[in-house]
Amino acid sequence: MAANRAFRALADPTRRRILKLLRARRRTSGEIADAFQSSWPTISRHLAVLRAAGLIVSERKGQFIEYDVNTTVLQEVIELLLEALPAGRERWRSSVERSLPSPSRSSHR
């Protein structure tokens, strides 16, 4: 199930930090790697896990690969979490929806 892969991917703090970096703008793999003390192969594995979970998308641009958040899948994960909340979930839902980037930014699957 895709949601299970997404939750497993989100369990790692480094991968959550990569998503946070990508929220601001698209970045190349080198730009992402430069933001961490980890080795390039380690960051590459993190990117592969995020990509397999559908949380990020990649696009080759010449010699570089650019990564971006897949807001569609991220929104599906948030919806699953919101469904688990007791009464008051509408208040949470509107708050979360206001904080998400526009789904049109990166709606690849």
* 21-36 confidence digits (pLDDT tens): 999 999 999 999 999 9
Residues ≥6 apart with Cβ < 8 Å to 78: 96, 100
Residue ranges making up the domain that contains 40: 2-105
- pTM to 2 decimals? 0.77
Q: At what angle do helices 13-24 and 40-52 cross, to 10 degrees?
A: 80
Residues ≥6 apart with Cβ < 8 Å to 92: 82, 85
Considering its fold, how many domains does the chain have in total? 1
* 54-79 confidence digits (pLDDT tens): 999 999 999 999 999 998 888 888 88
Rounded-to-integer distance, Cα 91 and Cα 75, Å: 16
Residues ≥6 apart with Cβ < 8 Å to 86: none
Instruction: Check which CATH number belongs to the domain holding 58 and give it.
Output: 1.10.10.10
